[in-house]
Amino acid sequence: MEKEKFTKLIMLFIVVIIFLAIIFGSGVMDPRDEGPDEACTSCYKYPPTNYAASSGDRDNNEPSVAVNPLDPDNIVAGANDYNTPDGAPWCGYYTSHDGGKNWTEGLIPGYPGDSTTNELTGFQAAGDPVLAVDANGNFYMAGICFKRSNNPLNPVGFGYNIGRSNGIFVAKSTNGGDSWNQVSVVSMSKENANSYEMNPSIKVFPMI
């Protein structure tokens, strides 16, 4: 009796080993082995190839990224971008429509030296971008905007300033991140030792 049970256990063990060998050998449970799908240009072998989103010579930092729920190949990133006419930081955007293989880039309108005007016109710098996307594929970027004060005790430039000195803005793109024509300053304050806007966050509705 005991010998019969032992034999059954051995047979069961062999069947499990064969099953696992078939599953893993075929790559069914290993997504890294999946080849490109013609319907999904963002599918790739592991490890993926890195593609540069920005072509500028100056720095980019503090990135944020969002993916269009209606088109996974449509990726939008944002970052502090120092590739501006005067070298001051501004919120840059980087857009891909092929899963990150090719990118276009730009600055949120209103930066110093921009020929267009909006509610950001007059601010000297912008940064801390964060991205969100709604269920309809509209992208939103929130960030800070500010003027630098002439404070001899603070060479970075943060201090007291007259008038609107810093705030939070929201920009909207309705074409997959290719352009950001809707820009609004949603909060403003006077820059001083106790008040300075930093690191905003954003949620949008309808949510994904």
Q: Which of 99, 104, 57, 105 is nearest to 82 (CA)?
A: 57
Q: What is the pLDDT of residue 98?
A: 95
Check the CA dihedral 104-110-112-115 and report its sign. positive
Choose the weakest-confidence range: 19-28, 66-75, 137-146, 166-175: 19-28
Which two tokens mark 23? 């599953």
Banded model confidence at residue 34, pLDDT cuts 50, 70, 90: very low
56 or 40: whose pLDDT is higher? 56
Banded model confidence at residue 48, pLDDT cuts 50, 70, 90: confident
DSSP 43-66: --PSSPPP--S---SS-EEEEEEE
Strands (E), the chain: 60-67, 75-81, 90-96, 104-107, 125-133, 139-146, 166-173, 182-189
Q: Which of 168, 162, 173 is nearest to 146 (CA)?
A: 168
Give the strands of the sheet with 60-67, arranged side by side: 60-67, 75-81, 90-96, 104-107
Which two tokens mark 52? 């540069």
199/128 Cα distance (integer angstroms): 5
**Average pLDDT of the chain?**
81
Q: Look at the block and give the residue holding tokens 């730009």.
A: 106
| Backbone phi, psi, residue 127, to 5° | -175, -165
180 or 153: whose pLDDT is higher? 180
Q: Which of 126, 128, 51 is nearest to 95 (CA)?
A: 51
- Which numeric CATH code is attached to 60-189? 2.120.10.10
Residue 206: is the preceding peptide bond cis (ω within 30°)?
yes
Q: Is the CB of residue 184 less than 8 Å from the CB of residue 119? A: yes
Residues 6+ apart with CB under 8 A from 64: 77, 78, 79, 129, 130, 131, 141
34/45 Cα distance (integer angstroms): 7
Averaged over 10-32, what is the pLDDT? 60
| Residue 3 host element (H or E) | helix 2-26
35 pLDDT more than 70: no
65 pLDDT more than 90: yes
Averaged over 47-67, what is the pLDDT? 89
Encode pLDDT of 105-163 as tens digits.
Answer: 999 999 999 999 999 999 999 999 999 999 999 999 999 998 876 555 555 555 545 45
